[in-house]
Amino acid sequence: MSALPIHRRTLTGLAKGLKRREFSSVEVTRSYLGRIAASQPDLNAFITVTGEAALAAAAVADARLASGQAGPLTGVPLAHKDIFCTEGVLTTCGSKMLANFVSPYDATLVARLRDAGTVMLGKVNMDEFAMGSSNETSHFGPVRNPWNTAMVPGGSSGGSAAAVAARIAPAATATDTGGSIRQPAALCGVTGIKPTYGRVSRYGMIAFASSLDQGGLITLSAEDAALLLGAIAGFDPRDSTSVDTPVPDYTATLGDSLEGLRIGLVRQFFDKGLDARCEAQIRAALAVYEKLGARLVEVDCPNLPLSVPTYYVVAPAECSSNLARFDGVRFGHRCADPKNLIDLYRRSRGEGFGAEVKRRIMTGTYVLSAGYYDAYYLKAQRVRQLISRDFAQAFTQADVLVGPTSPVPAFPLGSKTADPITMYLNDIYTIGANLAGLPGMSIPCGFVEGLPVGLQIVGPHFSEARMLNAAHRYQTETDWHLQLPAAYA
Amino acid sequence: MSLSRSDIDKIAYLARLELTEAEIPAYVDSLSRIIDFVGELESAQTAGIEPMAHPLPGLAQRLRADEVLETDRHEHYQRNAPQVEGGLYLVPKVIE
Amino acid sequence: MATAIATDVEWETVIGLEIHAQLATRSKIFSSSATAYGAAPNTQANLVDLGYPGVLPVLNAEAVRMALKFGLAIGARIERRSVFARKNYFYPDLPKGYQISQYELPIVAQGSLDVVLDDGTRKRIGITRAHLEEDAGKSLHEGLPGVTGIDLNRAGTPLIEIVSEPDMRSAKEAVAYMKKVHTLVRYLEICDGNMQEGSFRCDANVSVRPRGQQKFGTRAEIKNLNSFRFVEKAINYEIERQIELIESGGQVVQETRLYDPDKGETRSMRSKEEANDYRYFPDPDLLPVVIEDALLETVRASLPELPDQKAARFASQYGLSEYDAGVLTASREMGAFYEEVVTRVGGKDAKLCANWVMGDFSALLNRDNLELALAKVDAAGLAGLITRIVDSTISGKIAKEVFEAMWDEGTSADAIIEARGLRQITDTGAIEQAIDAVMAKNPGQLADYRSGKDKLFGFFVGQVMKATGGKANPAQLNELLKKKLAG
C-alpha cells in the first residue's frame, strides 16, 4: 500500500483510495480542514470554512461508500469559489456588499456536486465580484501565492488556484469571464479549465458579465478536471443560455493518441509582450507535443489584439446592469439612516462596492449611455464578431490552439494596482476565448525563478474532451503539475 | 478623450454610486484612461459586421411550460432583507 | 418673452396610446411564481422575481403564444426573431434595476384596428408594435408613516405593451380605440381586462398643433390611466392645458404627467423626469425568440371568431344593423348569450331578440351592476319570454312587466303569465264586449269621431286596453275597433 500522504494525491487518487477504503472521507476531510486552518494566516485562501457540515457530509459519504452505493466522486472534498450560491452558507462574492448574505438556494453547479457526493470544505476567496486579475480586490483581503507569498495568485479565482496549489483542497470550482480560471491556474502552477459557454449552468453563479461568464474548475490534473467536469456539465432548464448537448465521458478519451493533432500557434499569442523566459517554457512544451505526434501550424488571428479593449467595453456594460440589483432593499449592504431613496441607493452602493467594482460599473454605465452606445458598446460587439470569426478561421487549420496563458509569471502584490490598464493587460491571451465562447485550459509547463508558467489550450466549441486529452497526454509526459510548493509539501 | 469631474458626477449619479471627495480625482483619471484605451476599437473595420450579443451563434430562446411551481417562501427570502414589515420591503418614502 | 399668438387658431389634437395588458398566464413571464391577483405581500415573488444574485430568467411559452394571438388578430407582421433587452433604471418596485422588455426587435410589428366613431364612421388606427415585457412590483404608502413598502407579487407578471400610431384626434377616439383593444384581448382570452386590478391600463401621449400643420407638437405622456373615464377626462384636461399654455405664450415641455382623478387634472411627475437614460442593451441572459412556422400555425388555428368578424356575421345572418351587431359583439359572452337566445326562440325574430338583449335585459344588468354571467334571467329564460311575444300569448308591453317580474322573482315567463293572468285576450267576443262598453260610456267622443275627428281612435284604443288590463291583442283590437266605430 502506498504511503503517499492524503494531500499529495490528486482528486482521482483520493477517489480511488476512498473506493478501496484506504482512508475514509472523514479522514480526508479532516486532513484538508487541518491544512486550511494552518495555511489561512499566510494564504488567506478561504472566506468561509464549513468544517462541521463538511465532516457531517463526509460521514454520510462514508456510509454510502461502506454500503457500496458510492458514485465516482462520493466522499471527495473540494472548495467552492464564493461566487457560487450555497444554501444556508455565507456567499459573499468577495464583497462587503454581500458580507452577510446567506444564500437561500444552491447554484446548479453546487447542487450537482453535492448530489455526486462531494464534500464542501468551504468557500474560497476571490476578487470582488470576480473583477480583478490578482485577487487584490477582495473585501476579505488578498490571497497570496503559495509558491511565494510576496506574489499574487492571479485572479479572479485566486483563492481556488492557491488552495489547490497548496493542497489545502484537492480541487476547487472557479469561474472565468476573461481568464479568471486560466490565469490564476497558470500563476499558481495548477490545471484550470473554462468550458464552452453554455456547457456549465450559470444558475446560482453571481453574474459579472453574463455573455462571458462560465463556471469551471481548478484541479491538479487534466484527469481530475475530466472527472469533475462530467459532474458539473450539462443542460440546466433554469439557464436559458445553457446548451442541451450530451455530455461525453471526458475520462474515456484522456489517453487517446495525439498523432496528427494539428496544434495552432496563434501568431498574436507570441507577441512582444510575452516574457522571454515564459516563451522558452512554452516552446519546450510544444516540443513535447511534437514528440507525441502533434503537428504545429502557425495561424493568424488579426483582430485578437483588440480583445482587451473589446472586453473592457462588453464586460463593464453587462456588469453595470447585473450589479444594479444590489440596492440595499432586498439583500446586501444597506447604509445607515438613509435620508431618502436616492441616498439609500447611492450610499449603500458607494459603501458596499470596492474601488475596482465601482470603476467597472461606471465604465459600463458610460459606454451604454445615450450618445455613446453605438461608438462603444455596439462597436465592441462588432469587433467581438470579428474576433470570433478569426478563431473560426483558425480552427479550419488547427484542432486546438496552444500558447501562453499569461504574459508574465506571478507578480508582486501591489505592483499593478495603481494602473488599471496594466492590470487588464494580464488577460490579453485569455480574453479571446471568452469573447468567442470557446473552451480553454491552462496547465503547468515549467517555472521561471521558482514561479509557475502556464500553457494555454483553446479549442472549438464543445471540444472539452479533445482539450482534456491533449492536456492529459502532456501531463503523462511531464510532472510539472505534480510539483508542489516547499512550504506545503 | 478626457472625462471631466462633471462627467464622473453624472455617471456616478446614473449608476447610483456615491463617491467620496477623495475617490473622485482617481476615477476622473482612471476612467479617462480606460475610455481612451477602449477607443482603440474605433480603428477596426466593422462595416457590415453584425454585433455579437451571444457567444454561441444560431441558438434560440427555449420556452418554459406555463406552470406554477413555487410555494410561498417569503419569510425565508426576507431573512437577508435589511428592513421588512408585514411582508413588505421598506424603503424611505417614495414621492411621485 | 411671450410671443403673441393669434387666439383664433383652430387646434388639432394628436393622441397615441401605449396600452399595457397583463397576459392571463398562470405563471410569470420569466419565473414559475403564480400571477394571481390579491395575494399577501411578496408571497408570490420567488428568487427570480426578487432579482436574487445568480438567478436567471426563462421565458414562458404561453406568454409568447398570447402575444402571437394578439399579433395575428390585428393583422400584424409577426417578427420571426425578436429580442429581449434590458431597460436600466433604479426604482424600488424594479428589483433587478432593469426591466426586461423588447426594445429594438418586438415580437409584433405593424398592425391595425378599426374603430367605429360616434357618427358611425369607421376609422383605422395603426398599431406600431406590440412587445412582451415584465411588469414591475407595487409601492405602498398607506399606513406606513415616512416609509414606502414594496410588494413584488406583481413583479414579473407578463405584459404586452401595445403601442399605437399617433392616429387619434380626440379623447373620444382614444377611448373608442382603447375599448376596441379591451374587447379584443378578452375575446382572445389573453387578458382578463380587469381595469380596477390594473390588468389593463394605458399611457396616453397627447399633443396639439394648429390644424393644417404637418409637424407634431411637443407631447406630454400621461401615465397609468386605468379606466376609460379617466382616459377621456385626462386627455381632455391635457388638451385644454396645452392649448391654454401655448395661447398664453408658453411652451409645452416633453414630460411625464400623472392624472389625479380627485382633482380632475394632470400634474408633472418630476421624480421620473430626471436622467431617464435607460441604457438599453440586449439581455445576455436570454436568447433571441425564434417563431417557427409550426407554432404560428397552431396559434392561428386557435384564434376564436374575432369581434369584427362576428359583428359582420351577425349583421348578415340576423339582419341586424351595424350598430346593433357591434353592441352585441362587444364581448364574447354577450355574443354567445345573444346567439343562444335567438336559437332558443327558433332562429327567427332575431331583431326582436336583439332589441330585448340590448334593451330591457342590458338595462337591468346595468341597473344592478351585474356581470352577464350573474344575470338574474338566463338566455333560456329570456328566450321563453320572447317566444310568448312571438306566439301572441302576451303583448310586447306586458312582456316588459313579465320580464321585470322574472328578474325579481327568478321564475319563468310562463309561470308569471299564469300567476298574474296576463295571457293576452284573443277571444273576439270578449274584445267586442269591452269595445261596446267603452263606446257606451263615451258617447261624446264617439260622436266627435264619427264626425271626422280620426285622432280619437287612439283614445278608444287606450280606453279598451285600460278596461282589459292591457291584455287585449293589439292587432285584433285595432281591427274590431275600426269596424265598431264605423258603426
Neighbours of chain C (3+ CB pairs under 8 A): A, B
C370 touching A (Cβ < 8 Å): no
Q: How far is residue A353's CA from residue B17's CA, in Å, rounded to a whole number?
A: 9
Contact assignment for C277 to A203 by CB distance below 8 Å: no
Cβ atoms of C456 and C485 within 8 Å: the answer is no
C97 touching A (Cβ < 8 Å): yes
Residue of A240, A384, A420 lying closest to B62 (CB–CB): A240
Residue of A203, A241, A321 lying closest to C86 (CB–CB): A321
CB neighbour class for C447 (10 Å; exposed up to 12, middle 13-18, buried from 19) = exposed
Mean pLDDT across C323-329 = 92
Contact assignment for A366 to B91 by CB distance below 8 Å: no
Statement: residue C444 has pLDDT above 60: yes
Q: Is residue A288 part of a domain?
A: no
Q: How far is residue A93's CA from residue C262's CA, in Å, rounded to a whole number?
A: 49
Contact assignment for C150 to B59 by CB distance below 8 Å: no
Q: How far is residue A44's CA from residue A136's CA, in Å, rounded to a whole number?
A: 11
Q: How far is residue A316's CA from residue A363's CA, in Å, rounded to a whole number?
A: 6
Confidence category of residue C1, pLDDT binned at 50, 70, 90: very low
- What mean pLDDT, rounded, does chain C reach? 93
Of A24, A133, A156, A406, catalytic = A156
Contact assignment for A386 to B44 by CB distance below 8 Å: yes
- Same domain flag for A178 and A325: no
Q: Determine the pLDDT at residue A30.
A: 98
pLDDT tens-digit map of C341-357: 999 998 889 999 999 99
Contact assignment for B52 to A198 by CB distance below 8 Å: no
Residue of C84, C269, C289 lying closest to B96 (CB–CB): C269
Q: How far is residue A298's CA from residue A262's CA, in Å, rounded to a whole number?
A: 10
Residue A156 is a catalytic residue? yes
Residue A388 is a catalytic residue? no
Question: Beta strand B63-64 with C59-60: parallel, antiparallel or unpaired?
Answer: parallel
Mean pLDDT across A449-459 = 98
Round to the nearest angstrom and report the end-to-end CA distance of chain C: 88
All three cell numbers of A281: 517554457
Q: Is residue A227 part of a domain?
A: yes
Confidence category of residue B86, pLDDT binned at 50, 70, 90: very high
Residue of B15, B50, B94 lying closest to A361 (CB–CB): B15
- Same domain flag for A70 and A173: yes
Mean pLDDT across A184-197 = 98
* pTM as predicted: 0.92
Residue A234 has, within 13 A of its CA and on its CB side, a CA count of: 15
All three cell numbers of C356: 330585448
Q: What is the DSSP string of A320-373?
A: HHHGGG-SSSSSS---SS-SSHHHHHHHHHHHHS-HHHHHHHHHHHHHHSTTTI
Distance in Å, alpha carbon of B59 to nearest chain A alpha carbon:
9
Instruction: Show Cβ contacts of residue A223 under 8 Å, excluding neighbours closer than 6 positions.
Output: A10, A12, A251, A254, A472, A475
User: Rounded to 5 degrees, what are φ and ψ at B91?
Assistant: -135, 165
Contacts of B90 in chain C (CB under 8 A): 144, 147-150
Listed residue (A287, A289, A243) closest to A262, CA to CA: A289
- Same domain flag for A366 and A404: no
Query: Which of the pair, A189 or A273, is modelled with greater confidence?
Result: A189
Mean pLDDT across C426-438 = 88
Residue of A207, A317, A324 lying closest to C281 (CB–CB): A317
Chains A–B, number of C-beta pairs less than 8 Å apart: 177
Contacts of B78 in chain A (CB under 8 A): 330
Contact assignment for A104 to B91 by CB distance below 8 Å: no
Mean pLDDT across A156-172 = 98
Percent of chain A with pLDDT over 70: 99
Q: Determine the pLDDT at residue C46.
A: 98
- Same domain flag for A332 and A188: no
- Same domain flag for A409 and A366: no
Contact assignment for B35 to A346 by CB distance below 8 Å: no
- Same domain flag for A374 and A402: no
Cβ atoms of A443 and A191 within 8 Å: the answer is yes
Q: How far is residue C68's CA from residue C295's CA, in Å, rounded to a whole number?
A: 9
Q: How far is residue C283's CA from residue B64's CA, in Å, rounded to a whole number?
A: 17
Contact assignment for A101 to C53 by CB distance below 8 Å: yes
Q: Determine the pLDDT at residue A282.
A: 98
- Same domain flag for A128 and A101: yes
Q: Determine the pLDDT at residue C2.
A: 44
All three cell numbers of A40: 489561512
Alpha helices in C74-210, H assignment, sequence order? 171-187
Confidence category of residue A20, pLDDT binned at 50, 70, 90: very high
Strand order in the sheet with A77-81: A46-49, A119-124, A77-81, A172-176, A214-219, A191-194, A440-448, A451-458, A400-404, A262-266, A295-299
Contact assignment for B60 to C63 by CB distance below 8 Å: no
Q: Determine the pLDDT at residue C395.
A: 84
Listed residue (A185, A216, A161) closest to A444, CA to CA: A185
Q: Determine the pLDDT at residue C6.
A: 55
Cβ atoms of C284 and A368 within 8 Å: the answer is no
Statement: residue A238 has pLDDT above 50: yes
Residue of C90, C148, C285 lying closest to A210 (CB–CB): C285
Residue of C55, C92, C277 lying closest to A203 (CB–CB): C55
Of A39, A81, A160, A194, catalytic = A81
| Sign of the torsion formed by the C-alpha atoms of C128, C131, C133 and C135 | positive
Percent of chain C with pLDDT over 90: 77
Domain boundary residue, one of A381, A407, A431: A381
pLDDT tens-digit map of C86-121: 999 999 999 999 999 999 999 999 999 999 888 888
Statement: residue A325 has pLDDT above 90: yes
C294 touching B (Cβ < 8 Å): no
Domain boundary residue, one of A381, A408, A432: A381
Contacts of B14 in chain C (CB under 8 A): 275, 277, 279
Residue of C84, C141, C287 lying closest to B59 (CB–CB): C287
Instruction: Show Cβ contacts of residue C261 under 8 Å, excluding neighbours closer than 6 positions.
Output: C230, C233
Report the residue of chain B nearest A360, measured CA to CA: B31
Show which of residues 403-432 on chain C sit within 8 Å of chain B, judged by CB atoms.
none
Q: Determine the pLDDT at residue C210.
A: 95
- Same domain flag for A323 and A405: no
Report the residue of chain B nearest A388, measured CA to CA: B55
Statement: residue C487 has pLDDT above 80: no
- Same domain flag for A13 and A145: yes
Q: Determine the pLDDT at residue A21.
A: 95
Residue A180 is a catalytic residue? yes
C86 touching A (Cβ < 8 Å): yes
- What mean pLDDT, rounded, does chain A reach? 97
**Residue found by looking up cell 462520493 in the block:** A74
Contacts of B35 in chain A (CB under 8 A): 363, 366
- Same domain flag for A353 and A471: no
User: Rounded to 5 degrees, what are φ and ψ at A105?
Assistant: -155, 165
Q: What is the DSSP string of C49-74?
A: TTT-TT----EEHHHHHHHHHHHHHT
- Same domain flag for A435 and A361: no
Statement: residue C480 has pLDDT above 50: yes
Q: Is the peptide bond before A156 cis (omega within 30 degrees of 0)?
A: yes
pLDDT tens-digit map of C278-306: 999 999 999 999 999 999 999 999 999 99
Cβ atoms of A10 and A225 within 8 Å: the answer is no
Distance in Å, alpha carbon of B25 to nearest chain A alpha carbon:
12
Q: Is residue A298 part of a domain?
A: no
Of A180, A201, A242, A348, catalytic = A180
Give how far the C-alpha of residue C477 lies from the chain's centroid of Cα atoms, to the nearest Å.
44
Report the residue of chain C nearest A243, measured CA to CA: C287
Q: Is residue A273 part of a domain?
A: no
CB neighbour class for C367 (10 Å; exposed up to 12, middle 13-18, buried from 19) = exposed
All three cell numbers of C56: 436567471
**Residue found by looking up cell 317566444 in the block:** C387
Contact assignment for C52 to A105 by CB distance below 8 Å: yes
Contact assignment for B77 to C151 by CB distance below 8 Å: no
User: b/e string for C13-43 if b means 16 or more Cβ within 10 A?
Assistant: bbbbbbbbbbbbbebbbbbbbbbebebebbb
Task: Kindly calculate the radius of gyration of chain B based on its CA atoms and give it in whole angstroms.
Answer: 23
Contact assignment for C287 to A206 by CB distance below 8 Å: no
**Number of residues that this document lists for chain A:** 489
All three cell numbers of A147: 509558491
Neighbours of chain B (3+ CB pairs under 8 A): A, C
Contacts of C46 in chain B (CB under 8 A): 70, 73, 77
Domain boundary residue, one of A381, A410, A441: A381
Listed residue (A235, A218, A212, A261) closest to A398, CA to CA: A261
Q: Determine the pLDDT at residue B96.
A: 62
CB neighbour class for A398 (10 Å; exposed up to 12, middle 13-18, buried from 19) = buried
Q: Specify whether domain B5-42 bears CATH 1.10.20.
A: yes
Q: How far is residue A387's CA from residue A302's CA, in Å, rounded to a whole number?
A: 8
- Same domain flag for A243 and A350: no
Instruction: Show Cβ contacts of residue A324 under 8 Å, excluding neighbours closer than 6 positions.
Output: B16, C88, C90, C96, C97, C98
Percent of chain A with pLDDT over 90: 98
What's the structural domain count of chain A? 2
Contact assignment for B72 to C44 by CB distance below 8 Å: yes
Mean pLDDT across C29-45 = 97
| Side chain identity, residue C437 | A
Contact assignment for C56 to A239 by CB distance below 8 Å: yes
Q: How far is residue B13's CA from residue C318's CA, in Å, rounded to a whole number?
A: 65
Q: Is residue A428 part of a domain?
A: yes
pLDDT tens-digit map of A120-151: 999 999 999 999 999 999 999 999 999 999 99
Query: Which of the pair, B30 or C473, is modelled with greater confidence?
Result: B30
Distance in Å, alpha carbon of A203 to nearest chain C alpha carbon:
6
Neighbours of chain A (3+ CB pairs under 8 A): B, C
Show which of residues 7-66 on chain B sit within 8 Å of chain A, judged by CB atoms.
7-8, 11-20, 23, 26-27, 30-31, 33-35, 37-42, 44, 46, 49-57, 59, 61-62, 64
Write the CA distances from C253 to A315, A324, C9, C171, C195, integer angstroms.
37, 30, 20, 20, 29
Confidence category of residue C273, pLDDT binned at 50, 70, 90: very low
3-state SS of A96-151 is HHHCCCECCCCCHHHHHHHHCCCEEEEEECCCHHHCCCCCCCCCCCCCCECCECCE
Q: Which domain holds residue A404?
A: 6-264+397-488
Confidence category of residue C143, pLDDT binned at 50, 70, 90: confident
ipTM: 0.97
Confidence category of residue B95, pLDDT binned at 50, 70, 90: confident
Cβ atoms of A418 and A286 within 8 Å: the answer is no
pLDDT tens-digit map of A48-91: 999 999 999 999 999 999 999 999 999 999 999 999 999 999 99
